[in-house]
Amino acid sequence: MSLAHGAEIVKRPEVTHDAFLGGRLTIAQPARGFRAGLDSVLLGAATGHGQGQLLDLGAGVGTAALVALADHAALGAMLVEADADTAALAAGNVTANGFAGRAQVLTLDLTASGRTRTAAGLRPDHFVSVLANPPFFEVGTAPSARRAAARHMSAEALDVWVKTAASHAAPGGEVIFIHVAERLSALLQSFEARFGAVTILPLTPREAEPANRILIRGIKGSRAPLTLLASRAIHTPSGRTFRPQFEAIFRGRDRLHW
């Protein structure tokens, strides 16, 4: 078959349409590879500002930002995603969920220079909330040695994410990351170099188990000391159901209070 027929035989990635927040959101996302889940919902639900502009760095298909918009009617959002196909899905999700007037998607590498980001329309010192869920792989799930290395993002790479977040947060604005607990040391070092009022919330699968996720928040320009919150278990002891406070978040009936 000639190349002229190429467009007819290209296999497009399979996409699923998944309900979030008890059906308040429907998210289109790839059937394989990274899929938005509990981390994305918790990140969006952790947003504390109810009005102004939110920035979602490495937004993926946009789940975290859309959760925040669903929770806060006066909030607008900018979603930044480097992968063009994923950014297109995010843009479709913004429109499909009724947020076209409140959010826009920017296809941009967040590690680009500040001049490049500004030229692309990403304003410095502007956003009241900046969210990020840096990529990682769970133990045993990375399909190749090259991708497995991404799970162990270096301290330097994480610092670039935090630096970018800090440069776009407004004075007094919050920067919130969710990540694997084993990277807390690197994240804490980067956050304390740039923010005050750093707050850490460890998340455990069940009571008495080690934390496997952490939420960390810093306030730009604050001089307040660090707060380490008590860990919170997401599941009941049986592990089959969510604890009530998290069930309410995942069903879209409440947000994360921390």
| pLDDT tens figures, 125-174 | 999 999 999 987 544 444 444 444 344 678 999 999 999 999 999 999 99
CATH code: domain of residue 136? 3.40.50.150
The token pair at 202 is: 């460890």
Confidence of residue 12 (pLDDT cuts 50, 70, 90): low
Question: Is 186 within a domain?
Answer: yes
Question: Is 181 within a domain?
Answer: yes
Domain span including residue 26: 11-250
What span, in angstroms and rounded, lies between the C-alpha atoms of 131 and 110?
A: 12
What span, in angstroms and rounded, lies between the C-alpha atoms of 64 and 241?
A: 22
Q: How far is CA 162 from CA 7, 188, 202, 216, 217, in A?
A: 40, 10, 19, 11, 11
Please determine, for residue 48, whether its predicted confidence score (pLDDT) is greater than 60.
yes
Confidence of residue 33 (pLDDT cuts 50, 70, 90): confident
* E strands, the chain, in order: 15-20, 25-30, 51-57, 74-81, 103-107, 127-132, 169-180, 195-204, 213-220, 227-228, 232-233
| Mean pLDDT value of segment 44-71 | 97
Question: Is 148 within a domain?
Answer: yes
Confidence of residue 239 (pLDDT cuts 50, 70, 90): confident
Question: Is 31 within a domain?
Answer: yes
Please determine, for residue 120, whether its predicted confidence score (pLDDT) is greater than 80.
yes
Number of neighbours of residue 179 by Cβ within 10 angstroms: 23
Amino acid at 28: A
What span, in angstroms and rounded, lies between the C-alpha atoms of 62 and 90?
A: 5
Number of domains the chain contains: 1
| Mean pLDDT value of segment 227-240 | 94
Question: Is 255 within a domain?
Answer: no
Question: Is 6 within a domain?
Answer: no
Question: Is 2 within a domain?
Answer: no
Question: Is 256 within a domain?
Answer: no
Lowest mean pLDDT among 17-31, 63-77, 150-164, 218-232: 150-164
The token pair at 178 is: 């969710």
Q: ∠ CA 167-173-176 to the nearest 5 degrees?
A: 80
